[in-house]
A and B are shown apart, each in its own frame.
Chain A
Amino acid sequence: MISWRPSNSLILCWVALMVLLALTVTLAYQPLGALNFVVALAIATAKTALVMVIFMELGSRPGLVRAFAGAGFFWLMILLWLGLVDFVTRS
Protein backbone atom coordinates (compact mmCIF):
# COMPACT_ATOMS: atom_id res chain seq x y z
CA MET A 1 0.00 0.00 0.00
CA ILE A 2 1.33 3.39 -0.97
CA SER A 3 1.49 5.92 1.84
CA TRP A 4 0.12 9.20 0.61
CA ARG A 5 -0.95 12.51 2.08
CA PRO A 6 -2.43 15.63 0.50
CA SER A 7 0.04 18.38 -0.43
CA ASN A 8 0.63 21.24 1.99
CA SER A 9 -0.86 23.75 -0.44
CA LEU A 10 -4.10 21.78 -0.49
CA ILE A 11 -4.30 21.63 3.32
CA LEU A 12 -3.36 25.30 3.71
CA CYS A 13 -5.99 26.23 1.13
CA TRP A 14 -8.67 24.41 3.13
CA VAL A 15 -7.52 26.10 6.38
CA ALA A 16 -7.53 29.51 4.67
CA LEU A 17 -11.06 28.89 3.34
CA MET A 18 -12.30 28.05 6.86
CA VAL A 19 -10.61 31.14 8.31
CA LEU A 20 -12.18 33.32 5.61
CA LEU A 21 -15.59 31.77 6.33
CA ALA A 22 -15.23 32.57 10.05
CA LEU A 23 -14.04 36.07 9.17
CA THR A 24 -16.96 36.80 6.85
CA VAL A 25 -19.54 35.66 9.45
CA THR A 26 -17.86 37.75 12.17
CA LEU A 27 -17.62 40.87 10.01
CA ALA A 28 -21.25 40.51 8.86
CA TYR A 29 -22.31 41.26 12.46
CA GLN A 30 -20.18 44.42 12.74
CA PRO A 31 -22.04 47.63 11.93
CA LEU A 32 -20.01 48.81 8.93
CA GLY A 33 -22.92 50.28 6.97
CA ALA A 34 -22.62 49.91 3.21
CA LEU A 35 -19.16 48.41 3.72
CA ASN A 36 -20.73 45.18 5.04
CA PHE A 37 -21.79 44.22 1.53
CA VAL A 38 -18.43 45.18 0.01
CA VAL A 39 -16.57 43.13 2.65
CA ALA A 40 -18.84 40.10 2.12
CA LEU A 41 -18.27 40.18 -1.64
CA ALA A 42 -14.53 40.80 -1.25
CA ILE A 43 -14.17 37.75 1.02
CA ALA A 44 -16.31 35.66 -1.36
CA THR A 45 -14.00 36.71 -4.20
CA ALA A 46 -10.92 35.78 -2.14
CA LYS A 47 -12.42 32.34 -1.37
CA THR A 48 -13.22 31.86 -5.07
CA ALA A 49 -9.66 32.79 -6.04
CA LEU A 50 -8.31 30.16 -3.62
CA VAL A 51 -10.67 27.48 -4.97
CA MET A 52 -9.81 28.31 -8.59
CA VAL A 53 -6.03 28.58 -8.17
CA ILE A 54 -5.47 25.62 -5.80
CA PHE A 55 -8.46 23.23 -6.03
CA MET A 56 -9.13 23.79 -9.74
CA GLU A 57 -5.36 23.83 -10.30
CA LEU A 58 -5.43 26.96 -12.46
CA GLY A 59 -2.15 28.00 -10.82
CA SER A 60 -0.36 25.13 -12.52
CA ARG A 61 -2.39 24.39 -15.66
CA PRO A 62 -1.26 25.36 -19.20
CA GLY A 63 -2.08 28.79 -20.62
CA LEU A 64 -4.75 27.37 -22.91
CA VAL A 65 -6.74 25.99 -19.96
CA ARG A 66 -6.45 29.32 -18.13
CA ALA A 67 -7.64 31.15 -21.23
CA PHE A 68 -10.74 28.92 -21.39
CA ALA A 69 -11.38 29.50 -17.69
CA GLY A 70 -10.83 33.25 -18.07
CA ALA A 71 -13.31 33.43 -20.95
CA GLY A 72 -16.25 32.63 -18.66
CA PHE A 73 -15.12 35.27 -16.19
CA PHE A 74 -14.69 37.79 -19.01
CA TRP A 75 -18.26 37.26 -20.27
CA LEU A 76 -19.59 37.46 -16.71
CA MET A 77 -17.91 40.84 -16.30
CA ILE A 78 -19.57 42.05 -19.52
CA LEU A 79 -22.94 40.80 -18.25
CA LEU A 80 -22.59 42.44 -14.82
CA TRP A 81 -21.01 45.65 -16.09
CA LEU A 82 -23.46 46.35 -18.90
CA GLY A 83 -26.37 45.06 -16.86
CA LEU A 84 -25.70 47.03 -13.70
CA VAL A 85 -24.21 50.27 -14.99
CA ASP A 86 -27.68 51.61 -15.77
CA PHE A 87 -29.12 50.82 -12.33
CA VAL A 88 -26.25 51.96 -10.15
CA THR A 89 -25.84 55.28 -11.96
CA ARG A 90 -29.51 56.23 -11.78
CA SER A 91 -30.40 58.59 -8.97
Chain B
Amino acid sequence: MSEPGDIAAHLSSPKQRDEVLELGMWTFLSTEVLLFGGLIMTYMVYRHADPVSFAEAGRQTRIVIGTANTAVLLTSSFCVAAAIQAGQAGAARAVKALLAAAIILGTIFLGLKGVEYAGEYRDHLVPGIDFMQSGPHTQGVRLFFIFYFLATGLHAVHLLCGIVVLIIFLRCYRQIVCHPRYLAGLRTAGLYWHFIDVVWIFLYALIYLPGRSG
Protein backbone atom coordinates (compact mmCIF):
# COMPACT_ATOMS: atom_id res chain seq x y z
CA MET B 1 0.00 0.00 0.00
CA SER B 2 1.67 3.27 -1.02
CA GLU B 3 1.04 6.60 0.68
CA PRO B 4 3.47 9.07 -0.87
CA GLY B 5 2.52 12.03 1.30
CA ASP B 6 3.19 10.02 4.42
CA ILE B 7 6.94 9.61 4.13
CA ALA B 8 9.62 11.98 5.41
CA ALA B 9 12.16 13.22 2.87
CA HIS B 10 15.03 11.17 4.30
CA LEU B 11 13.17 7.89 3.85
CA SER B 12 12.97 6.14 0.49
CA SER B 13 9.93 3.88 0.90
CA PRO B 14 7.07 2.98 3.26
CA LYS B 15 8.90 -0.28 3.95
CA GLN B 16 11.98 1.60 5.11
CA ARG B 17 9.79 3.91 7.22
CA ASP B 18 8.33 0.90 9.00
CA GLU B 19 11.73 -0.75 9.47
CA VAL B 20 13.37 2.26 11.09
CA LEU B 21 10.54 2.35 13.64
CA GLU B 22 11.60 -1.04 14.97
CA LEU B 23 15.32 -0.22 14.93
CA GLY B 24 14.65 3.09 16.67
CA MET B 25 12.68 1.35 19.41
CA TRP B 26 15.45 -1.18 19.99
CA THR B 27 17.96 1.66 20.22
CA PHE B 28 15.77 3.40 22.80
CA LEU B 29 15.36 0.12 24.67
CA SER B 30 19.15 -0.30 24.95
CA THR B 31 19.28 2.98 26.87
CA GLU B 32 16.46 1.66 29.05
CA VAL B 33 18.35 -1.60 29.60
CA LEU B 34 21.27 0.44 30.92
CA LEU B 35 18.98 2.56 33.13
CA PHE B 36 17.50 -0.49 34.86
CA GLY B 37 20.83 -2.33 34.54
CA GLY B 38 22.51 0.32 36.67
CA LEU B 39 19.83 -0.04 39.33
CA ILE B 40 20.13 -3.82 39.31
CA MET B 41 23.91 -3.59 39.56
CA THR B 42 23.51 -1.41 42.67
CA TYR B 43 21.23 -4.08 44.11
CA MET B 44 23.81 -6.80 43.37
CA VAL B 45 26.58 -4.84 45.08
CA TYR B 46 24.57 -4.22 48.27
CA ARG B 47 23.19 -7.74 48.31
CA HIS B 48 26.70 -9.11 47.97
CA ALA B 49 27.83 -6.89 50.86
CA ASP B 50 24.91 -7.80 53.13
CA PRO B 51 23.08 -10.97 52.00
CA VAL B 52 21.45 -11.62 55.39
CA SER B 53 19.67 -8.25 55.48
CA PHE B 54 18.48 -8.67 51.89
CA ALA B 55 17.07 -12.12 52.72
CA GLU B 56 15.34 -10.63 55.78
CA ALA B 57 13.92 -7.76 53.70
CA GLY B 58 12.87 -10.10 50.87
CA ARG B 59 10.77 -12.08 53.36
CA GLN B 60 8.85 -8.91 54.22
CA THR B 61 7.67 -8.31 50.63
CA ARG B 62 4.22 -9.52 49.58
CA ILE B 63 4.97 -12.54 47.44
CA VAL B 64 1.32 -13.34 46.67
CA ILE B 65 0.73 -9.92 45.12
CA GLY B 66 4.15 -10.00 43.43
CA THR B 67 3.50 -13.41 41.88
CA ALA B 68 -0.03 -12.50 40.81
CA ASN B 69 1.31 -9.32 39.22
CA THR B 70 3.97 -11.30 37.34
CA ALA B 71 1.27 -13.58 35.92
CA VAL B 72 -0.85 -10.52 35.03
CA LEU B 73 2.00 -8.82 33.19
CA LEU B 74 3.12 -11.97 31.34
CA THR B 75 -0.48 -12.48 30.20
CA SER B 76 -0.73 -8.86 29.05
CA SER B 77 2.40 -9.40 26.94
CA PHE B 78 0.74 -12.43 25.40
CA CYS B 79 -2.28 -10.24 24.53
CA VAL B 80 -0.11 -7.60 22.85
CA ALA B 81 1.84 -10.21 20.85
CA ALA B 82 -1.46 -11.85 19.84
CA ALA B 83 -2.91 -8.44 18.84
CA ILE B 84 -0.05 -8.00 16.36
CA GLN B 85 -0.69 -11.47 14.91
CA ALA B 86 -4.40 -10.70 14.68
CA GLY B 87 -3.60 -7.45 12.87
CA GLN B 88 -1.44 -9.31 10.37
CA ALA B 89 -4.31 -11.72 9.76
CA GLY B 90 -6.74 -8.82 9.26
CA ALA B 91 -8.84 -9.67 12.33
CA ALA B 92 -9.59 -6.11 13.39
CA ARG B 93 -12.04 -7.03 16.17
CA ALA B 94 -9.51 -9.37 17.76
CA VAL B 95 -6.91 -6.55 17.71
CA LYS B 96 -9.36 -4.32 19.57
CA ALA B 97 -10.26 -7.00 22.14
CA LEU B 98 -6.66 -8.02 22.79
CA LEU B 99 -5.42 -4.44 23.17
CA ALA B 100 -8.27 -3.71 25.57
CA ALA B 101 -7.36 -6.84 27.56
CA ALA B 102 -3.71 -5.77 27.76
CA ILE B 103 -4.73 -2.28 28.95
CA ILE B 104 -7.01 -3.77 31.62
CA LEU B 105 -4.29 -6.18 32.78
CA GLY B 106 -1.76 -3.34 32.95
CA THR B 107 -4.21 -1.32 35.04
CA ILE B 108 -4.81 -4.31 37.35
CA PHE B 109 -1.05 -4.54 37.83
CA LEU B 110 -0.86 -0.88 38.87
CA GLY B 111 -3.85 -1.34 41.19
CA LEU B 112 -2.25 -4.31 42.95
CA LYS B 113 1.00 -2.35 43.17
CA GLY B 114 -0.94 0.40 44.93
CA VAL B 115 -2.40 -2.11 47.40
CA GLU B 116 1.12 -3.37 48.03
CA TYR B 117 2.54 0.13 48.58
CA ALA B 118 -0.29 0.87 51.03
CA GLY B 119 0.53 -2.31 52.95
CA GLU B 120 4.20 -1.39 53.11
CA TYR B 121 3.28 2.07 54.40
CA ARG B 122 1.20 0.48 57.17
CA ASP B 123 4.14 -1.82 57.99
CA HIS B 124 6.48 1.20 58.34
CA LEU B 125 8.64 0.01 55.45
CA VAL B 126 8.87 3.24 53.44
CA PRO B 127 12.34 4.80 53.80
CA GLY B 128 12.24 8.58 53.94
CA ILE B 129 8.54 8.72 54.85
CA ASP B 130 7.85 6.15 57.54
CA PHE B 131 10.52 3.56 58.20
CA MET B 132 10.56 1.89 61.60
CA GLN B 133 12.22 -1.48 61.96
CA SER B 134 14.08 -3.05 64.84
CA GLY B 135 16.78 -5.67 64.90
CA PRO B 136 20.37 -5.93 63.77
CA HIS B 137 19.62 -5.69 60.04
CA THR B 138 17.75 -2.36 59.98
CA GLN B 139 20.27 -0.59 57.73
CA GLY B 140 20.33 -3.39 55.16
CA VAL B 141 16.55 -3.69 55.14
CA ARG B 142 16.32 0.09 54.61
CA LEU B 143 18.69 -0.14 51.62
CA PHE B 144 16.63 -2.97 50.16
CA PHE B 145 13.42 -0.97 50.44
CA ILE B 146 15.04 2.12 48.91
CA PHE B 147 15.90 -0.07 45.93
CA TYR B 148 12.42 -1.59 46.02
CA PHE B 149 10.57 1.73 45.80
CA LEU B 150 12.98 3.23 43.26
CA ALA B 151 12.92 0.22 40.95
CA THR B 152 9.21 -0.63 41.19
CA GLY B 153 8.26 3.08 41.03
CA LEU B 154 10.31 3.59 37.88
CA HIS B 155 8.81 0.41 36.47
CA ALA B 156 5.28 1.59 37.28
CA VAL B 157 5.92 4.91 35.47
CA HIS B 158 7.07 2.94 32.42
CA LEU B 159 3.99 0.75 32.60
CA LEU B 160 1.76 3.82 32.84
CA CYS B 161 3.39 5.19 29.66
CA GLY B 162 2.86 1.78 28.01
CA ILE B 163 -0.83 1.84 28.93
CA VAL B 164 -1.23 5.35 27.44
CA VAL B 165 0.48 4.20 24.23
CA LEU B 166 -1.81 1.17 23.94
CA ILE B 167 -4.86 3.37 24.57
CA ILE B 168 -3.76 5.58 21.66
CA PHE B 169 -3.48 2.50 19.43
CA LEU B 170 -6.87 1.27 20.60
CA ARG B 171 -8.48 4.64 19.84
CA CYS B 172 -7.10 5.00 16.32
CA TYR B 173 -7.68 1.38 15.40
CA ARG B 174 -10.99 2.10 13.70
CA GLN B 175 -9.57 4.06 10.79
CA ILE B 176 -6.34 2.29 10.08
CA VAL B 177 -6.21 -1.09 11.78
CA CYS B 178 -4.47 -3.81 9.77
CA HIS B 179 -2.81 -1.17 7.62
CA PRO B 180 0.96 -1.89 7.32
CA ARG B 181 1.82 1.41 8.96
CA TYR B 182 -0.49 0.76 11.93
CA LEU B 183 0.95 -2.71 12.36
CA ALA B 184 4.53 -1.41 12.26
CA GLY B 185 3.62 1.11 14.94
CA LEU B 186 1.84 -1.50 17.02
CA ARG B 187 4.82 -3.84 16.78
CA THR B 188 7.04 -0.99 18.02
CA ALA B 189 4.68 -0.26 20.91
CA GLY B 190 4.61 -4.00 21.61
CA LEU B 191 8.41 -4.09 21.93
CA TYR B 192 8.18 -1.41 24.63
CA TRP B 193 5.44 -3.33 26.42
CA HIS B 194 7.43 -6.61 26.36
CA PHE B 195 10.49 -4.76 27.62
CA ILE B 196 8.52 -3.57 30.66
CA ASP B 197 7.56 -7.21 31.16
CA VAL B 198 11.22 -8.33 31.01
CA VAL B 199 12.23 -5.69 33.57
CA TRP B 200 9.52 -6.98 35.88
CA ILE B 201 10.65 -10.61 35.43
CA PHE B 202 14.03 -9.62 36.90
CA LEU B 203 12.62 -7.30 39.57
CA TYR B 204 10.37 -10.15 40.69
CA ALA B 205 13.34 -12.50 41.11
CA LEU B 206 15.37 -9.87 42.95
CA ILE B 207 12.64 -8.48 45.22
CA TYR B 208 10.19 -11.23 46.13
CA LEU B 209 12.24 -14.43 46.05
CA PRO B 210 15.20 -13.77 48.41
CA GLY B 211 15.07 -15.30 51.88
CA ARG B 212 12.02 -17.52 51.27
CA SER B 213 13.80 -20.77 52.13
CA GLY B 214 15.43 -19.48 55.32
A contacts, CB < 8 Å to B? 1-4, 6-7, 10, 13-14, 17-18, 21, 24-25, 28-32, 36-37, 40-41, 43-44, 47-48, 51-52, 54-57, 61, 64-65, 68-69, 71-73, 75-76, 79-80, 83-84, 87-88
CB proximity of B62 to chain A, nearest CB, Å: 13
Per-position 1/0 for B11-44, Cβ under 8 A of A: 0000000000011001101111110011011001
Interface of A is mostly: helix
Interface of B is mostly: helix
Please give, as numbers and ranges, the residues of chain A lying within 8 Å of B202 by CB-CB distance.
Answer: 44, 48
A25 to B63, CA, bound (A): 9
CB proximity of A51 to chain B, nearest CB, Å: 5
Most chain-A Cβ atoms within 10 A of its Cβ — which of B30, B34, B197? B30
From A29, A47, A84, contact of B41 by CB (8 A): A84
When the two chains form their complex, are residues A73 and B33 in contact, meaning their CB atoms are under 8 A apart?
yes
From B34, B71, B77, contact of A79 by CB (8 A): B34
When the two chains form their complex, are residues A76 and B37 in contact, meaning their CB atoms are under 8 A apart?
yes
| Stretch binding the partner chain, chosen from B78-86, B115-123, B144-152, B162-170 | B78-86
Most chain-B Cβ atoms within 10 A of its Cβ — which of A10, A68, A71, A72? A72
Please give, as numbers and ranges, the residues of chain A lying within 8 Å of B201 by CB-CB distance.
Answer: 44, 47-48, 51
* Interface footprint category on B: 35 or more
When the two chains form their complex, are residues A14 and B198 in contact, meaning their CB atoms are under 8 A apart?
no
Please give, as numbers and ranges, the residues of chain B lying within 8 Å of A47 by CB-CB distance.
Answer: 74, 201
CB proximity of B9 to chain A, nearest CB, Å: 22
When the two chains form their complex, are residues B78 and A13 in contact, meaning their CB atoms are under 8 A apart?
yes
B residues 72-121 near A (Cβ < 8 Å) are 74-75, 77-78, 80-82, 85-86, 89-91, 93-94
When the two chains form their complex, are residues A68 and B48 in contact, meaning their CB atoms are under 8 A apart?
no
When the two chains form their complex, are residues A65 and B41 in contact, meaning their CB atoms are under 8 A apart?
no
